Amino acid sequence: MVASRPASVNATISASVQVNLRDPWLIRDVSIPTRLVLAPMAGVSVQAFRRQGRRYGAGLVCSEMVSCAGLEHRNERTLGYLRVGRDEHPLAIQIFGSDPRTMAEAAQMVEAAGADIVDVNFGCPVRKVTKTGAGATLLDDPDRACRIVGAMAEAVAIPITVKMRRGLENGARTCLHVGPRLVDAGAASLTLHPRSARQMYTGEADHSLTGELVELVDVPVVASGDITTRARAQAVLATTGATAVMVGRGAQGNPWALREIVDGDTPGPSREEVAAELILFVRETVRELGEWRAVGFLKKFYGWYLGRGRFPRPFKQELVCLDSTDEVVTRLLAAAPGASAIVDRLEAELPDPADEVLLDQMPISIYGGG
């Protein structure tokens, strides 16, 4: 087992090594144009979010986790169909489940939808997922986890990747034992979020484990957890040897953070730019989910976009109380009239919806965890 580097060594390495986050890399035969991956996040990673992430520098974008059982049973309580737009490639669609056969069949459906990669969730700590034997629970059942990955790898031609946590309990090092076995079973890349399932999102991500995992496997390792600035991304890449970093919560309502991580110091957004991105996000989400579902879905995003001192706090609460997305757009344009021209430009750059691949009756299910 490779020992963790002392903090003083880490600081020296970080100061002397700068990774070009614009360098492309490969997951098997899939070329990824930057070293930044936009995380799969339940209740967040709709197509509008992924598209925005790509525009701001994410080289790989991921869907929120999709229940393989929902795919198998064509669950009518859909949150939207799996869509793949031509501007989303490369795209990973993440699935979760506990049965190798069902997961293999779900992987085939993901491949048919046009995704470039099938990602497996072995990291979700939320009870409604773990109680089914899926998510982070599978780290304590490595034989089943390996059977799942092996069955999927045999079923599809596109790469299988795995996102996992360090283990179920605080201080666990399970990922270091399971990770190499998953690679032997067919995983083409691993993403490690080095918190325990018990931690959820508290405490700090222990990236010394990420460095140890890198030394144990011969596939790309993506470092996830607490990547919020370019300095942090560079430090983690330099001290762990990871191939790329994954950004999740830091990008919620803040795509400008992605641009800063990839390119360095860049000017912050104007009020007009913030309003324009939110308006586009609202309209694209309505197109994907429908007005009724979008109204509730979008409420959390208003605070994410309008916070950080960008708009007065009462304005966000005003938007949350509105009954339609048209009213939200009207209020945003009134608060930032210059946003209109920016929205027109952004919408003109969107691909034709006819270019999307749609598979009927393929639901995204379960909002809860990541």
Non-local CB neighbours of 267 within 8 Å, separated by 6+ positions: none
Long-range contacts of 317-325 (CB under 8 A, 24+ apart): 323/295, 324/291, 324/295, 325/282, 325/283, 325/286, 325/291, 325/294, 325/295, 325/298
Cβ proximity of 176 and 206 under 8 Å: no
Non-local CB neighbours of 17 within 8 Å, separated by 6+ positions: 234, 237, 238
The catalytically annotated residue of 62, 124, 146, 175 is 124
What single string gives the DSSP state of each residue in 286-325? HHHH-HHHHHHHTHHHHHHHHTTTTS-HHHHHHHHT-SSH
How far, in Å, are 57, 298, 326, 333 from residue 290 at the CA level? 28, 12, 13, 22
Cβ proximity of 211 and 2 under 8 Å: yes
CA 215 to chain centre: 24
Answer yes or no: 124 catalytic: yes
**Sign of torsion, CA 40 44 45 51?**
negative
Q: Strand 60-62 relative to strand 357-363: parallel, antiparallel, unpaired?
A: unpaired
Q: In whole angstroms, what is the distance from residue 153 CA to residue 147 CA?
A: 10
- With H, G, I as helix, E, B as strand and everything else as coil, classify residue 243: coil
Q: Which residues are catalytic?
A: 124
